């Protein structure tokens, strides 16, 4: 019951492509693909050209460092499913984003700004899903930078050697979204809703941490869903 309640969120309802009318009710398997696919978006030029030594799902602390990254700490989580809502286990999700100083972990972006880059921010992380399809990261709330007025986090989903989806997601309601070319190219309002989420304060946190939940629906069926 709890899982059902989680599914009936505003984002999931918007993902629902429920057929209408008597035909929908009488057609066998009409709800087989009830979730809208997460739209693919460009990888962009700053996927790390050299992965960091630490590639875990905590981007705030590098290895055993005691100094955290600058930025609003965000606990990012969600589920990766197919269009029927079935979890995709053993999927690898990668995320990457610029640091709070607007610099990516990429040679062409880091070197000219090397003195500015936050060396305590990992910039990239990955996580492998278990049987529930869930993933978790600790990162920072994304920030805008010149040329991209919409703060965003890039992500890529793999199953084995098969790339299933490359996309980005945005902060819901952020004013700069409407001026961002990538965000505007997503499509209609419903499609844009599928690539954004809210960053909400965690009430119990004494240091102003945030939580963001972003479910990913893969439209391409993995060859092996074991």
Instruction: Kindly list the domain boundaries of the chain, sorted by start residue.
Output: 36-218
pTM: 0.84
Contact 212, 197 (CB under 8 A): yes
DSSP-based three-state secondary structure for 192 = helix
* Cα Rg of the chain, angstroms: 18
CA angle 12, 20, 1 (to 5 degrees): 40
For 76-99, write each residue's pLDDT tens digit: 999 999 999 999 999 999 999 999
Bridge partners, residue 155, by sequence: 95, 167
Does the domain at residues 36-218 carry the CATH identifier 2.60.130.10? yes
- For residue 169, pLDDT over 90 is answered with yes
Mean per-residue pLDDT for 15-36? Answer: 48
- For residues 64 and 120, the answer to whether their CB atoms sit within 8 Å is no
Rounded CA separation 58/65 (Å)? 12
What is the distance between the alpha carbons of residues 110 and 118, in angstroms, rounded to a whole number? Answer: 10
Percent of the chain with pLDDT over 70: 81
171 forms beta bridges with 197
Burial tier of 188 (Cβ tally within 10 Å: 0-12, 13-18, 19+): exposed
pLDDT at 113: 67
Cβ-based neighbours of 51, under 8 Å, separated by 6 or more: 124
Q: Please report the pLDDT score of residue 26 as a whole number.
A: 40
How many angstroms separate the CA atoms of 155 and 167, rounded? 6
> What's the confidence (pLDDT) of residue 2?
43
- Given a contact cutoff of 8 angstroms between Cβ atoms, the answer to whether 126 and 93 are in contact is yes
Structural element, H or E, at residue 157: strand 152-159
User: Which pair of tokens denotes residue 171?
Assistant: 């902060």
């Amino acid at each position: 019951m709890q899982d059902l309640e989680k599914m009936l969120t505003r984002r999931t309802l918007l993902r629902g492509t429920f057929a209408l009318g008597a035909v929908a009710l009488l057609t066998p398997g009409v709800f087989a693909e009830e979730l809208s696919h997460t739209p693919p978006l460009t990888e962009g030029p700053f996927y790390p050209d050299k992965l960091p030594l630490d590639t875990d799902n905590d981007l705030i602390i590098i290895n055993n460092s005691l100094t955290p990254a600058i930025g609003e700490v965000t606990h990012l989580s969600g589920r990766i499913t197919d269009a029927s809502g079935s979890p995709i286990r053993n999927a690898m999700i990668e995320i990457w984003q610029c640091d709070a100083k607007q610099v990516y972990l990429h040679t062409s972006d880091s070197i000219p700004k090397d003195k500015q880059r936050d060396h305590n921010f990992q910039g990239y992380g990955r996580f492998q899903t278990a049987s529930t399809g869930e993933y978790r990261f600790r990162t920072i709330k994304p920030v805008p930078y010149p040329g991209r007025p919409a703060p965003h986090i890039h992500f890529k989903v793999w199953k084995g050697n098969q790339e299933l989806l490359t996309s980005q997601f945005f902060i819901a309601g952020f004013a700069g979204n409407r001026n961002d070319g990538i965000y505007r190219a997503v499509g209609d309002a419903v499609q844009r809703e599928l690539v954004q989420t809210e960053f909400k304060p965690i009430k119990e946190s004494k240091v102003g941490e945030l939580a963001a939940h972003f479910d990913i629906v893969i439209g391409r069926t993995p060859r092996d869903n074991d």
